[in-house]
Amino acid sequence: MARLIGPDAGQRLVYVLSGSLLRSAAGFTAVFYSDAAGTVLADMAAYQPLNPTVPGSVITGSTLQVDATSRLPLFWFPLNGQDTLYVRVGGVSSPLVSINADYDPRIDSLIVGSGVTSVNGDTGPIVVLDANDVGADAAGTAATLVTAHDIDTTNVHGIANTALLATSSDVSTAVANALADTTAVHGISDTSLLVFGPASSTDNAIARFDLATGKLIQNSLSTVNDAGQVSAVGGIFTDDVSVLGTGKGYRFRASGGALDFDATGADLYLSVFSGATFNGTQRTYARFESGVELTHLAGRLESTTAVASASVHALDPVT
């Protein structure tokens, strides 16, 4: 048997779960096992970039470090030809996940039997068999016909490793599994990369995107468009909130001893529009200067016993 190179490219990228967030696993230790229970360390050999077709020395302890791009390094799978291993990244509390050898040579190993490579000194890639090569009778004179039969494990004609025998169904299944694994890791067929979290609103999810509208949580009313604009219904901020422009801004401050509405970098104007979306007639009632403690009030100012009561005293700039 021969070692297989791996893991497959679609399974090398790994992350660690930190609270409710997925983070890079760069620098974490990955331990590899040959069984799904995680009790038997895997037989592994080092991958040599300068000699990529020849396995290097056996890896002691069956451990590797996740590289700087958060990917599992390449290595050679067990000498017995095993093509599936199990890896745990980040300690004993982390899940044990199955990985496969690189799919191209893995499929090759499934379909390569003990095919004829030479007959009576005649070598491939195409070997022509004649009657003398197989000791057959002359054409049309054979007493017994030789017919093909399906592959089986009880009459394999000297094939040393029956595990390598594969039917067309086996190959189709292996290809389908490869496509499924690649799709799960790399996204859908148009190369888009989709991120999904749990479906329940009570689960800890990093994100769940509605594929059609860009909603942050599927079926919710919160959206983010391509221009970066966030639309939400209601909302709670647990600290100060700042709205910053170029050289100026507002701040709603709740962290001090009182509630403050602050402005910075320019004069502050208080206006009301007659329209529903900052349109129609704009009426400006007050201006607070930034460079000096000076307030400007426009229009009639009335003093009342309540905000909806009749005027008691009035300060009218006209009269």
pLDDT in tens, 102-153: 987 667 656 555 455 555 566 555 566 666 656 656 666 666 555 555 555 5
Residue type, 317: P
Q: Which of 24, 65, 78, 18 is nearest to 206 (CA)?
A: 18
The residue behind tokens 């009218």 is 316
Rounded Cα–Cα distance for residues 128 and 114 (Å): 17
Q: SS3 for 20? A: coil
* Assessment of whether the complete model's pTM goes beyond 0.75: no
Mean pLDDT of 247-264: 89
Within 27-66, residue ranges assigned H as helices are: none
Cβ atoms of 73 and 67 within 8 Å: the answer is yes
Q: What are phi and psi of 271, to 5 degrees?
A: -130, 160
Mutual orientation of helices 168-186 and 103-111 as an angle, nearest 10°? Answer: 170
pLDDT greater at residue 256 or residue 76: 76
- Cβ within 8 Å of residue 77, ≥6 positions away: 3, 4, 5, 6, 42, 44, 83, 85, 101
Cβ atoms of 5 and 105 within 8 Å: the answer is yes
The secondary structure element, H or E, covering residue 253 is strand 249-253
Q: Which of 117, 5, 115, 132 is nearest to 56 (CA)?
A: 5
Q: With bands split at pLDDT 50, 70 and 90, how would you rate the model's confidence at 216?
A: low
Rounded Cα–Cα distance for residues 20 and 34 (Å): 30
Rounded Cα–Cα distance for residues 17 and 91 (Å): 12
Within 26-167, residue ranges assigned H as helices are: 103-111, 131-134
Mean pLDDT of 95-102: 92
State pLDDT tens for residues 5-58: 999 988 999 988 877 788 888 999 999 999 999 999 999 999 999 999 999 999
Residue 94 structure tokens = 């982390």
How many residues belong to the chain? 319
Cβ atoms of 105 and 48 within 8 Å: the answer is no
pLDDT greater at residue 48 or residue 178: 48
Q: What are phi and psi of 117, to 5 degrees?
A: -110, -20
pLDDT greater at residue 160 or residue 205: 160
Instruction: Dihedral sign for Cα 47, 48, 52, 53, please.
Output: negative
Domains of the chain, earliest start first: 5-101 (2.60.40), 195-235 (no CATH), 267-315 (no CATH)
Rounded Cα–Cα distance for residues 53 and 74 (Å): 12
